Amino acid sequence: LVGTPPMGAFWMPFTANRKFKQSPQLIVGAEGMHYRLADGRLVLDAIAGLWCVNAGHRNPRVTAALKAQIDVLDYASNFQSGHPAAFELAARLADFAPGDLNHVFFTNSGSESVDTALKIAVAYHRARGDAGRYRLIGRERDYHGVSFGGISVSGIGRQRSTFGPLLNGVDHLPTTHDPVRNAFSRGEPVHGIEKADALEAMLVLHDPSTVAAVIVEPVAGSTGVLPPPQGYLRRLREICDRHGVLLIFDEVITGFGRLGANFAADLTGVLPDLITAAKGLSNGAVPMGAVLVRDGVHDAFMHGAAGSVELMHGYTYSGHPLACAAASATLDAYLEDGLIAQAAALSPYLEDGLHALRGLPGVIDVRNLGLLAGVELAPYAGGTMTRGQAVAQQCLARGVMVRAVGDTIALSPPFTISRAQIDEIVDTLRAAILNTVD
């Protein structure tokens, strides 16, 4: 941030930030790849909002669908009634999702999706008469939102210690990230696969018959863009299968084309039992999340809920008509305009550009999959801001908005980006890095 305190672990409360009105980072408009700031400048949005505006800002399909929907139906509950946009979207998501993930529970955010998925996992076992399975296993350095459930499985120690005590019986796998030899850096995609075997040991430690589910981000996003070694997710799947444990992929960032495939599940060929989604689902235009659920899990869960599930789980705004309209139009953009294919096609170009930064002073590592990338920088020895924050500030001053997650610069541009704009991001990043050498 320029001229305001750096964002810490918390969102800034609006009431306490009247000063923010004068901030040069006040965003007053957006179109396509760009934000317009209060001072009139256009800046290239290299992070797609908060990893959500995958089809570009104010995508014409999405804007038109929202306008059309508000003229017809503003709100209808999906509890004891329904509306066409929700049914249509549910059917389309079943087609879009991999394998037999044919069922969807709508939410309003990634955090709600995570909570919903964890609850479904526990209730699924109970519905099958296996009430002893209550434990949840997350992974260090994974982020799963801000609800008590999400924080409990989250791999961010500070989040857990600030808000604990949390859910009972939760444990965490080691991160796949190796600070010395980072997994999946170019040329080292297989290193570290044995970290998946920690799951086997953990299940034995806790007694596998007490474990309901494992939740991981296929690529940890908010903690530094950490793709796992190739084969790691498949091995997790095999271990879960051996012990009757459900596997949840938190695809809030990785879903909807970010990795150049519909989901990370498609890219890796590993089918989880549940997928949590949000962000790119509705292109950030209106809040929306979803949990995609496999046939068998859905059927057992619904059977166990004995028809009363609507009283036990659901949100007032689940499947809101405006959100459904936006999400359907977003799917059109991804599929009919070929944006996911475009993301896949542009990925090597971004990779080549970013890997050319590897020799620069202070650059420790470059990691990427699809149009999701992280450039990790060496921390500053001292100073009031992290090197990541300093580089992000420099980039903004030069007309490119990136996100600093710790000392990693995260990039996740809209799929509508051009090669010239990728060059602009790489050149800006290079200049910013060179300008912040300590």
Residues that bind ligand PMP (CB under 6 A): 109-111, 114, 143-145, 217, 221-222, 250, 252-253, 278
Shortest distance, CB of residue 109 to ligand PMP, whole angstroms?
A: 4
In the bound state with ligand PMP, the residue whose beta carbon lies nearer, of 251 and 424, is: 251
CA distances from 274 to 52, 129, 269, 303 (A): 20, 20, 14, 17
In the bound state with ligand PMP, the residue whose beta carbon lies nearer, of 298 and 403, is: 403
In the bound state with ligand PMP, the residue whose beta carbon lies nearer, of 57 and 126, is: 57
In the bound state with ligand PMP, the residue whose beta carbon lies nearer, of 144 and 367, is: 144
For residue 160, give the nearest of 174, 131, 139 by alpha carbon.
Answer: 139
CA distances from 120 to 17, 126, 134, 271 (A): 38, 10, 11, 17
In the bound state with ligand PMP, the residue whose beta carbon lies nearer, of 118 and 363, is: 118
User: In the block, which residue shows the tokens 């405006």?
Assistant: 322
In the bound state with ligand PMP, the residue whose beta carbon lies nearer, of 217 and 424, is: 217
Find all residues with CB under 8 Å of 395, minimum gap 6, and list them: 46, 401, 402, 409, 428, 429, 432
Find all residues with CB under 8 Å of 187, minimum gap 6, and list them: none
Shortest distance, CB of residue 326 to ligand PMP, whole angstroms?
A: 15
d(CA 200, CA 242): 9
Query: What letter represents residue 307's amino acid?
Result: G
Shortest distance, CB of residue 157 to ligand PMP, whole angstroms?
A: 17
Shortest distance, CB of residue 106 to ligand PMP, whole angstroms?
A: 13
Q: Phi and psi of 97, rounded to 5°? A: -75, 155
In the complex, residue closest to ligand PMP by CB: 110
In the bound state with ligand PMP, the residue whose beta carbon lies nearer, of 56 and 110, is: 110
Shortest distance, CB of residue 78 to ligand PMP, whole angstroms?
A: 19
d(CA 327, CA 51): 16
Shortest distance, CB of residue 379 to ligand PMP, whole angstroms?
A: 23
d(CA 152, CA 166): 5
Shortest distance, CB of residue 117 to ligand PMP, whole angstroms?
A: 10
